[in-house]
Structure 1
Amino acid sequence: MLEDFYVKDKKGIYEYILGGCLDSRLLNIRIFAEPTKTSVYQSQTSNAKEQGVSNCPLCAIGSNNNKSRIYKQSEMDADHVTAWSKGGSTDVGNCQMLCKTHNRAKGNK
């Protein structure tokens, strides 16, 4: 029964998920489109190669071996510069590619 899934603090929980709605348009609202990810990856990687730094902006400011590493797109995640949970939009202007380690450590900061 749905009552068994009652959550007191509903912040970040959306009715269409709890209600079983399968409309993928709703569920993908915070996921960047593949063409956006590819475009941002290519631009970021090109700029990083010109500067001799990593294409992960957080690795690039570090001091370890990854500061000049060029990651493959499959080794990176699309990240909201301004967190989605804080009102950041899911568009090319708010997208950056981060290595998977940095993206997962960043959370909604």
Structure 2
Amino acid sequence: VYTGSWLSDAKIKFSKSNCAAYLLANDGGSLVSGSPIRQEYLETSLSWINDGKIEDYMAKHQHDKKADELWQYFQDVIAWVRKTFPNYRREMNSVQWGELYNQFKDKKLDATKLETEIKKLMQDEDVTKKSGIYPYVLTRQEKYLSIRAFTEKMKREAYERQRGVCPWCKKEKKEKQKWDIEEMEADHITPWHGGGKTIAENCQMLCKEHNRTKSGI
């Protein structure tokens, strides 16, 4: 649809085997997943530069002679990643770096401090999505980490221990305090970010309403 000299130039840079984008992103450990010849490098770069609106960007630049803006942007992203996270780990291959670059490129970041925290989180068994550590250390959003969930056994133990009573309902002296196990959800008594682990002793069952209020859902 968007054929022309811009697309031809973009394909030379992003879509050939051993193209410039591939060589750059893999020099010192792979930072982009997928394959250039399946257009995945080009697609990723277009998504990053224009907040996911790939076609809008292609339509706007279709008649440009060269894809220099896109190529420069890609180089800037990779350089920023290498500088901010110099210690390469294979998990870095599946991070949406462009999104983080767009948000944090002008912030003053301490690479040594970030590495210390990354190292600690890599060893935390409750963090089940290790690639999510990179967006987490910048955004502080726990959703990226996929914190380990309580097992059915842990939930049942907590439910029996509480005799089916939601501690928040009890605290607020609600009329209904006792619930069936299916009407309740597991919660960390001490939250993960406060040092709480996903272990039986740190599990409490809350009614769905209170668990969602507490989680800010």
When normalised by structure 1's length, the TM-score is 0.65
Alpha-carbon separation, structure 2, partners of 1:81 and 1:37: 13
**Higher helix proportion (structure 1 or 2):** 2
Q: How many pairs align?
A: 89
Unaligned runs of 5+ in 2: 1-43, 45-95, 108-113, 115-128, 135-144
What does the per-residue CA deviation read over 1:7-29, in whole Å, with 9 as the maximum and x for residues that have no partner?
5399xxx652489xxxxxxx664
**Which 4+ runs in 1 deviate beyond 6 A?**
none
What does the per-residue CA deviation read over 1:55-106, in whole Å, with 9 as the maximum and x for residues that have no partner?
001101223322xx32111111111010012221100111110111111111
**Counterpart pick for 2:201 among 93, 96, 102:** 93
1:58 maps to 168
Offset of residue 39 of structure 1: 1.3
Sequence identity of aligned pairs in percent? 36
Unaligned runs of 5+ in 1: 20-26, 49-54
Higher relative contact order (CA 8 A, sep 6+): 1
Are residue 41 (structure 1) and residue 162 (structure 2) matched? no
8 Å Cα contact 1:79-1:95 kept in structure 2: yes
Alpha-carbon separation, structure 1, partners of 2:98 and 2:133: 11
8 Å Cα contact 1:31-1:90 kept in structure 2: yes
Alpha-carbon separation, structure 2, partners of 1:90 and 1:15: 16
